[in-house]
Structure 1
Amino acid sequence: MLKWLSLHLNKGKVNGNQIISEKTINELHSPQIPCQLFPLNLDELQFSSYGLGWFIESYRGRKHVNHGGNIDGFCSYTSFLPDENIGIVILTNLSNAFCTMPIAYYIYDKLLGYDYTAFNKKLQNEVENMLKTMESANEAERNSKKESLTPSHSLEEYVGIYENPGYGSVKNPNKR
């Protein structure tokens, strides 16, 4: 993971050999789609976008490139500040992307000379608010279900051959 991180920090070079063009690396690390990975309200994050396989943010006014992953109780997070030539790889045995972010922000702040910020508490509050909002939206959706609805057409009117250029024809094998 550190070699892969080093490849990105060294603009596509490994042991002095350019194996990915610097132009390609710059494109990978450039915003392509405005987005917000998590609805976090942190003063330290000025914007968030998605590049080509990376999230690109502004962390305390610095370009921050990162991406994480989770599977079966494990979490990984690769993060770097390319203009400062520093990066972090965090591996945990927790299936929670939020656990890696305060660790990364803490390390960056130490390296950049910022005072301690309780990111774990800030993120905990943000996550709790996000989960409450999601639960409210889910509850509203569940409560909006109408039990007595019927299809707008008879079921027989839906029977037939359906065609799509990518999938071909689909028909009910029981219909003759």
Structure 2
Amino acid sequence: MAEIFLTPDSLITSKTDLNGKITYGNDDFVRFSGYSEEEFLYKPHNLIRHPDMPRIAFKLLWDTIKGGQEFFAFVKNLNKHQQAYWVFANVTPSYDSSGKIIGYYSVRRCPSKEGVKTLENVYKQLIEAEKRGGMEASLRALQEILRQVNMTYENLCIHLQKQGKVSGWYGV
């Protein structure tokens, strides 16, 4: 499968409704996803989900943003032309004037190469756990990894984006 790479100045942004259907995508979203606005508007954001992404990562995402918190993660996407591309994603809730969540806003940047390398290995382990025992097994595997590094999932992702690796931890 072919892979494409974001440039340091890439800034992919999109908005979704409460159910994850795309309501906006910027020019970089169009460029990297390969979909025209007509093709992606009001479609589920998982339109670009890569099969190498563990389901537990998206469960954590939804649990976090529905709770009103922002979420950070390395995500491997798959565009319309079957080209993979990694992003460092930040997803935040959008609020109306009364403080009610009305949708979600996502900004994706060029990920650190070391972070991609590390999380690609982590995600492979989580997918294998999901194949053996479903989401519960994947969550247990992720919890063990996070215990080893003494970080939350988001903190691990932020650290890998900034530092490229976790000192003294050699991953999976």
Same fold (TM over 0.5): no
**Highest Rg: 1 or 2?**
1
Query: Relative contact order (alpha carbons < 8 A, sep ≥ 6): 1 or 2 greater?
Result: 2
| Normalised-by-shorter TM-score class | under 0.3
Normalised TM-score (structure 1):
0.25
Normalised TM-score (structure 2):
0.26
The structure in which a higher percent of residues are strand is: 1
